[in-house]
Amino acid sequence: MHTKKQNDSKLYFSHPSQETLVVHLGGNWLLETPLPSVELLEHEIQLTATVRTVNFDASNLTIWDSNLLIFLSKVFDVCTKYNIRIRMEGLPQGVQKLLDLASSKRQRKGITGKAGKESFLIRVADTTFDFIQTSKDMLAFIGEAVLAFGKLLCGRANFRRTDLMNVIQESGAQAIPIVSLISLLVGLIFAFVGALQLKLFGAQIYVANIVGIAMVRVMGAIMTGIIMAGRTGASFAAQIGTMQVNEEVDALKTLGISPMEFLVLPRMLALVLMMPLLCLYADLMGIIGGMIVGVFMLDLDFMEYYYQTKSAVALTHLWVGLFHSAVFGVLIALSGCLRGMQCGRSASAVGSATTSAVVTGIVSIIVSTAIITIVCEVIGI
Amino acid sequence: MSEKRGSTVPEAKIVVRDLDMGYGSFVLMSGMNFTVSKGDIFIIMGGSGCGKSTLLKVIVGLLEPLHGQVFYDGVSFWEGDPQQKARIMRKIGVLYQSSALWSSMTLAENVALPLEQYTDLSKGYIRELVSLKLALVGLAGFEEFYPSEISGGMRKRAGLARAMALDPDILFFDEPSAGLDPVSARLLDDLIRELRDSLGATVVVVTHELQSIFAIGNNSVFLDPDTKTIIASGNPKRLLAESKDPKVINFLTRGER
Ligand SMILES: Nc1ncnc2c1ncn2[C@@H]1O[C@H](COP(=O)(O)OP(=O)(O)OP(=O)(O)O)[C@@H](O)[C@H]1O
Ligand SMILES: [Mg+2]
């Protein structure tokens, strides 16, 4: 018989016979104290390859909590690995009861043990199929949205007018402060950057052209788009996602109300109406930002700047800008609502729905800007 | 109750035939067959997580079954065209396990929405109806509260009021008495029986509440996760007296026998 003391005799092993190994547990086993490594036991088993049974001796054990249970479950894993029988009689009654409750035979059979690690190829295949599925879902969603829009035009769409008003209020009026700030600063930045170069040629007055055309043609729309994607797109995804989690969307469906009309349509409509207005406002703020730089830094005359802007910015620029913003409105609303509707049934799913709504929104804004710009170039606007 | 109707064969309201259900490729239950007759208070029993709520979702048309059919008055729900589905859905009211009240609307608006959707009643009349429904579940005076401003049990009752808004033919309740105190739970049982008797409604209830099961249920199915099928069906009281299956007896006696 040989005994080995370790870890302040918290854990040591003895061999009453060739075939049995006794695990002696002593002292405090609390969550704050470090957990001894089971490798000690594994080592012990490997040393004497004849062990068939593991017994426990807990006579010196003083206090214990889940810490001990974690250790024991690791011990059990090791024993299963080496095909060794476990006798729990030596453990305190309470420990035996808890282990029994947590044992695998007491668990419900069902969707447990989600598929573990998969091989690389399988993951690639899964991701590909997921991607195809997501694209299909997206197309189906867009199709349904178009149908709902058609119903709206026929005056048969089914949603509450108060919802529309609320969304307009939230996404339109309440966005004004942040839109003002951002677009004013963007105008300012443009003017600064342009002024540095133009000063070299003594052509400061053309700052008005740079700021005016850039803001009105694309930047006003893009800046409002990005603000709205972060603000409103995210909140759409969170609202609808939470409704998914709480089965509120199911409740609508069983009432025979189409969530597409009831939830998505008012949001889309509100954004399509509000985005051009906000964009117009952002254009104005951007020009004012440029004017601040022009008048106070470059010593241009206020009226001079005004006329220069007026002559530089053509009406087509304005139309192109407003068209951008209406498209962005649709895209932001669609991506927000799509991610919300696809949301899983948990709180964390709402979080990822929100994130992916913002990402989808911004990506689609940039991509559609590129497309519109190219098309404008080709048809010569 | 079935005894009252004497020897006439009760009219089948919902027929579930060879139904398999699950999520994706995972099968929760398979080969389910049962019939809910008109005027039944039909109990769906089984341990937690065995698929009762899922079965309810399949029956009310929210989750497509993997295989099999659900018939309402002889009409197949899942194979019907959209109009048929809409007609069937119009006749049912559902109380969800999580209440599922629309959180952006007050209780009154929640209950009123189904009425506004499906009827041409005047606003004033709808308001009266809403007050009546809320009073029925003991929530008079809470019309202007939002779901986030009331307790879980109250939400459950408000969900019940919404499910009853259109006086539907068939009512589905998912654990209606979870979160209620014993007295309210008793009152709820009385209300369910009253709805059945006065409106001639058919009621399908998912519940663990043994007292409710015996007090109101006149027919039931018992779902078993191990065999993935229905292992017992019939009047709960009779099941308790006659069933030989240890799992059923264990459930109906809370494992005390
Ligand atoms: N959306 C889902 N996707 C995948 N699996 C799900 C989903 N919803 C539920 N499940 C699984 O289906 C099984 C049955 O769930 P269900 O909600 O029907 O149980 P239940 O019988 O109603 O339980 P309880 O009495 O606790 O409400 C569970 O094992 C659950 O993990
Ligand atoms: Mg459930």
| Tens-place pLDDT, residues B98-143 | 889 999 899 999 999 998 888 888 888 899 989 988 988 888 889 9
Q: What is the number of the ligand 1 atom nearest to the C-alpha of B46?
A: 21
Is the pLDDT at B231 greater than 70, yes or no?
yes
The DSSP symbol for A109 reads P
User: Which residue is associated with the tokens 């979080």?
Assistant: A351
User: Residue B56 — very low, low, confident or very high, per pLDDT cuts 50/70/90?
Assistant: very high
Separation between Cα atoms, residue B134 and residue B154, nearest integer Å: 10
**Residue B2 reports pLDDT greater than 50:** no
Q: Which of A31-35, A89-93, A209-213 has the lowest mean pLDDT?
A: A31-35
Mean predicted lDDT score pLDDT of chain A:
87
How does pLDDT run across B200-223, given as a tens digit for each residue? 889 999 988 888 899 999 999 999
Confidence label for A8 from pLDDT (cuts 50, 70 and 90): low
A11-26 pLDDT, tens digit each:
888 888 888 888 888 8
Residue B50 CB–ligand 1 contact under 6 Å: yes
Q: What CATH topology corresponds to A3-104?
A: Transcription Regulator spoIIAA (3.30.750)
Residue from the list A108, A166, A247 with its beta carbon closest to the beta carbon of B100? A247
Mean pLDDT of B189-200: 85
Q: How confident is the model at residue B166 (pLDDT cuts 50, 70, 90)?
A: confident
Q: Region A61-66: what's the mean pLDDT?
A: 84
Higher pLDDT, B37 or A35: B37
Residues forming a β-bridge with B177: none
Whether pTM exceeds 0.80:
no
Q: Break chain A into its structural domains and give their ranges.
A: 3-104, 151-379
The answer to whether the CB atoms of A110 and B104 lie below 8 A apart is no
Question: Which of A44-53, A203-212, A235-244, B229-238 is predicted with the least confidence, judged by mean pLDDT?
Answer: A44-53
Q: B8 by DSSP, 3-state: which?
A: coil
Whether B57 lines ligand 1, by a CB cut-off of 6 Å, is no
Give the pLDDT of residue A46: 84
Three-state secondary-structure class, residue A64 = strand
pLDDT of res. A224:
95
Q: Is the pLDDT of residue A110 over 80?
A: no
Residues 6+ apart with CB under 8 A from A281: A176, A179, A180, A183
Return the pLDDT at A106: 57
Classify residue A82 by its DSSP letter: T
* Beta carbons within 8 Å of A65's beta carbon, 6+ residues apart: A29, A30, A31
Measured N-to-C along each axis, helices A315-341 and A234-245 cross at an angle, to the nearest 10 degrees, of 20
A107, A108, A111, A346, best to mutate for ligand 1 pocket (most atoms within 8 Å of CB): A111
Per CB distance under 8 Å, which residues of A are interface residues toward B?
A: 108-111, 158, 163, 166, 239, 242-243, 246-248, 250-257
Tell me what pLDDT residue A6 has.
45
pLDDT of residue A115: 54
pLDDT of amino acid A104: 64
User: Using an 8 Å Cβ cutoff, are B50 and B223 in contact?
Assistant: yes
Q: Do B92 and A248 touch (CB under 8 A)?
A: no
Least-confidence region, from B57-66, B122-131, B189-198: B189-198
Q: Which residues of B touch A248 (CB under 8 A)?
A: 100-103
Q: Which of B26, B60, B103 sits opposite A248 (nearest CB)?
A: B103
pLDDT at B82 over 90: no
Mean pLDDT value across residues A57-63: 86
**Domain extents for chain B?**
1-91+169-176+201-257
B135-160, pLDDT tens digit by residue?
888 888 899 999 999 988 889 889 99
Q: What is the mean pLDDT of chain B?
A: 88
Pocket test for ligand 1, best of B20, B52, B54, B206 (most atoms within 8 A of CB): B54
Decide whether any atom of ligand 1 lies within 6 Å of the A200 Cβ.
no
Q: What pLDDT sits at residue A278?
A: 96
User: What is the full DSSP assignment across B25-88?
Assistant: TEEEEEEEEEEEETT-EEEEEE-TTSSHHHHHHHHTTSS--SEEEEEETTEESTTS-HHHHHHH
CA–CA distance, A323 with A313 (Å, rounded to integer): 16
Which residue puts its alpha carbon closest to atom 17 of ligand 1? B53
Residue B197 has pLDDT above 70, yes or no: yes
A204: confidence class by pLDDT, cuts 50, 70, 90: confident
Structure tokens at A237: 């995804």
Q: Name the packing angle between helices A265-296 and A176-200 (round to 10°).
A: 40
- pLDDT for position A2: 42
A248, B100: Cβ pair inside 8 Å?
A: yes
Per-residue confidence (pLDDT) for residue A1, from 0 to 100: 38
What is the average pLDDT across B150-179?
Answer: 89
B257 pLDDT band, cuts 50/70/90, is low
Chain B residues closer than 8 Å to A110 by CB: 28, 49-50, 225
Pocket flag, ligand 1, residue B22 (CB < 6 Å): no
Maximum average pLDDT range among B1-5, B86-90, B125-129: B125-129
Q: What integer pLDDT is reported at residue B74 of this predicted model? A: 87
Q: A257 Cβ partners below 8 Å, 6+ apart?
A: A158, B113, B117
Tell me the fold of B1-91+169-176+201-257.
Answer: Rossmann fold (3.40.50)
For the cut 70, the answer to whether the pLDDT of residue A114 exceeds it is no
**pLDDT grade for B5, boundaries at 50, 70 and 90:** very low
Residue A246 to residue B100, Cβ atoms within 8 A: yes
Q: Distance from the CA of B208 to the center of ligand 2, in angstroms?
A: 10
Rounded mean pLDDT, A71-96: 85
CB B216 within 8 A of CB B41: yes
Residue range A217-228: average pLDDT?
94
Best residue of A169, A240, A246, A254 to probe chain B, by most B CBs closer than 10 Å: A254
Q: Could you tell me if B174 and B53 are in contact, meaning their C-beta atoms sit under 8 angstroms apart?
A: yes
A263 neighbourhood in chain B, CB within 8 Å: none
What pLDDT does B112 receive? 93
Ligand 1 pocket, residue B33 CB under 6 Å: no
Average pLDDT over residues A255-278: 92
Check pocket membership of B48 for ligand 1, CB cut-off 6 A. yes
Report the pLDDT averaged over residues B180-187: 85
Contacts of B94 in chain A (CB under 8 A): 251, 254
Instruction: Flag if B61 and A248 touch (Cβ within 8 Å).
Output: no
Cα–ligand 2 centroid distance for B174 (angstroms): 7
**Over residues B78-93, mean pLDDT:** 86
| Closest CB to B102 among A110, A111, A248 | A248
Q: How many CB atoms lie within 10 A of CB A325?
A: 27
Give the distance (Å) from ligand 2 centre to CA of residue B44: 10
Please name the residue whose Cα sits nearest to atom 4 of ligand 1.
B23
Angstrom distance (rounded) from CA B246 to CA A288: 81
Whether pLDDT at A340 is above 90:
yes
